[in-house]
Amino acid sequence: MEHPLLQSYGPLEGWHILLAIGVVSIGFFSYQVQKATRLVMLGSSDSRFDSWSIRIKEFISGWLFQKKVLRDKVAGIMHVLMFWGFLMLSTDMFDLATANAFSDKVLPEIIVGPWNGMVELGYFMALIGCVSALTRRVVFTPEKLKGKSQLEGNAILLLIFTITTTSFMVESAESPSAFWEPIGYWFSERGLSEQTVILSYWAHMLAISVFLFLIPLSKHMHLVMAVPNVFFHDAGPMARMRPLAIGDDGKAVPLEDLDIDSFGVSTYNQYSWRQLIDGWSCTSCARCQDVCPAYASGKGLNPMQVIHDVRNYANEHAPILLSGNQPEETILERITEEAVWACTTCNACVDVCPLYIEHVPKLTDLRRNAMMETMEYPEVLNTAMGNIESASNPYGFGAHERADWASDLGVKIGEPAEYIYFVGCAASFDERNQKVARSTISLLKEAGLDVGILGMQEGCSGDPARRAGNEYLFQMLAETNMSTFQELGVKRIVASCPHCFHTLGKEYGDFGGDDLEVFHHSEIIAKLQKEGKLPEAEKNGRSITFHDPCYLGRIGDILDAPRSVIGGVDKETERHGKDSFCCGAGGAQMWMEEDADKRVNEIRAAEIAETGCDTVAVGCPFCSVMVKDGLDAVGADMEVLDVAELLWEQIVARDLEIHDKTKNRTGKARIWKSSLSDLV
């Protein structure tokens, strides 16, 4: 039969109809894409044109091979089938729009068969994916989709169903190969009428046109924006925040030379262009929502909604923004203060997002503006920030008390050493966490390491100030600490606080700390165990689970070391490793008030209690406090100990046992000697 595109339909030729449909759909699509691009390019500059090898590698694994999508096995496989299917079938548009001239006259004859096979496989994969997804939505509706409108998603899936099924019908009239095109061949054997094939062709082309029309109006705009979003992802360490200003040398501009007019973000165009692409890249998969501790505890933060808010704000105020003016509504008003200050900066949302969306920086940038410019922040933070500014710790204790916990340990204080143990504020002043510091130092000395502490020369790493948005105070602390490190020739640092570990190791590089080697104490202890300088752990009747701190596991990628230190875990929590659930203390939440019925730590504590273990090991001072409080709140009788405490406890018990045996032997010897003298 003659190709439907070459036939006449009354006064119109087939190509006239296709041209009309194409002009409308492609024209509208192009207009909306360029509008979105213009809105994105209103953003501030952002240097993302570096680390090309990392970007290309991550683009291939993250976009092409969908590695993050496949972390959700069920929904991920459905999406991958449709994604790869569309990649393979997309070239069929050249044939459909040229009445097969592409395959007949352009493609070399030798590859026509394999090409047809690839196209048909693509249609088949997309069909299986869309039918599975539609069935899941309608029949086995996930909890997160219940009660929400599914019209948009279902409509798109029905369009994909139409595109795929009609393709086989059209193919049946083109002498399909039984080998390369088995589905089309099967349809040809059914003897479809010419009228059916013609209707299928136009239904196919109309469905594609409607799909093009809907893409920029829906979450499916990610089909366009995902490419730059993934490629220009943050190639640096996860959760690393940027300085207020960066000089020509690529380092932070010193405070004494700092000259900027505004802090953080208050207007749409103060976000960078890369941050703004996120708004059009979101697929509304709700994975970020599912892992957010603030959302799970009932607070007013939904990371997915934050991304939607950025895009909706731009679209609603597009005429004003594109004219170079600012809307009366601020970004903070759209996202809401409650959402901004509920974030724990655990970065679970960033880690799980299949399109590399950066949720947390949008919130911390708003915090910077609220903290340093508008002064509209939770008043409860005044105490912690004031203490950090005056005493260099959020507790408000004097610097002369920083080393009191180590007075009887014989450790170097304020002297050069191969390793400096950066104690941190919690382990310096909190009685519970001072035990962790004592255990850590004792283990390092037991192994024969040359280790010291800074004592009163140590200042807060600045993590609470930075996550709360007080970047100026953070930089002041960073510059002061770096000056101390340089004076003492500090090169290697051990930290038992993951927040200090991250801040010193991943963020101080901007302030001259490029050469610093920063280790979490679990890394060093595990290394010393492998070298035979410390004993392997023994459970001694304990059943142990481990809580992964966010800044150690997910953000720091330290997963095996703490488990190795304690001799392995008897039972993991349901969410562990990089998928661990936050304790609720990060993002300066440790210093803010939390509603009694919306406590993150109680959610985590309940998960830990479900393991049935009698001990939970931790590797973070804040987690230690939050997990213990949470366990008490849910009525779980579990002991909370740092990994260093568990190992040091074993060594002390061993030494006591040896001492007792020696004492007994000495006592028996004295008795024997006494008896012998009596005989003489």
Secondary structure (3-state) at 517: strand
pLDDT tens across 36-45, in order? 999 999 999 9
Residue 667 binned pLDDT confidence (cut-offs 50, 70, 90): low
In this model, does residue 126 exceed pLDDT 50? yes
- pLDDT bracket for residue 139 (50, 70, 90): confident
What's the pLDDT score for residue 102? 94
- Interatomic CA distance for residues 231 and 511, integer angstroms: 28
Q: Whole-number mean pLDDT of the chain?
A: 94
The predicted model gives 315-336 an average pLDDT of 96
Residues 225-264 have pLDDT tens digits of 999 999 999 999 999 999 999 999 999 999 999 999 899 9
Closest CA to 456 of 502, 498, 414, 495: 414
Q: Tell me the fold of 4-222.
A: Fumarate Reductase Cytochrome B subunit (1.20.950)
pLDDT > 50? residue 278: yes
Over residues 596-652, the pLDDT tens digits come to 889 999 999 999 999 999 999 999 999 999 999 999 999 999 999 999 999 999 999
Residues 6 or more apart whose CB falls under 8 angstroms from that of 266 comprise 330, 331, 332, 366, 369, 373, 374
pLDDT of 214 higher than 90: yes
Say yes or no to pLDDT of 677 above 60.
no
- Choose the weakest-confidence range: 150-164, 428-442, 484-498: 150-164
List, in sequence order, every residue forming a beta bridge with 451; answer none if it has no partner.
Answer: 419
Residue 680: predicted pLDDT: 38
CATH code for residues 388-530:
3.40.50
For residue 671, pLDDT beyond 50: no
Q: What is the pLDDT of residue 662?
A: 65
pLDDT at residue 1, rounded to an integer: 82
Q: Quick one: three-class SS letters along 407-473?
A: CCCCCEECCCCCEEEECHHHHHHCHHHHHHHHHHHHHHHHCCCCEEECHHHCCCCCHHHHHHCCHHH
Q: What pTM, to 2 d.p., does this model score? A: 0.92
Q: Give mean pLDDT, residues 74-86.
A: 94
Give the pLDDT of residue 675: 44
According to CATH, the superfamily of the domain at 255-374 is Alpha-helical ferredoxin (1.10.1060.10)
Q: What is the pLDDT of residues 13-25, one digit of tens each?
A: 999 999 999 999 9
Residue 615 belongs to what H/E stretch?
A: strand 615-618
Contact 5, 18 (CB under 8 A): yes
672 has pLDDT over 50? no
* Percent of the chain scoring above 70 in pLDDT: 97
Does residue 669 surpass a pLDDT of 50? no
Residue 658, pLDDT score: 75
Residue 666: predicted pLDDT: 55
Tell me the average pLDDT across 530-554: 96
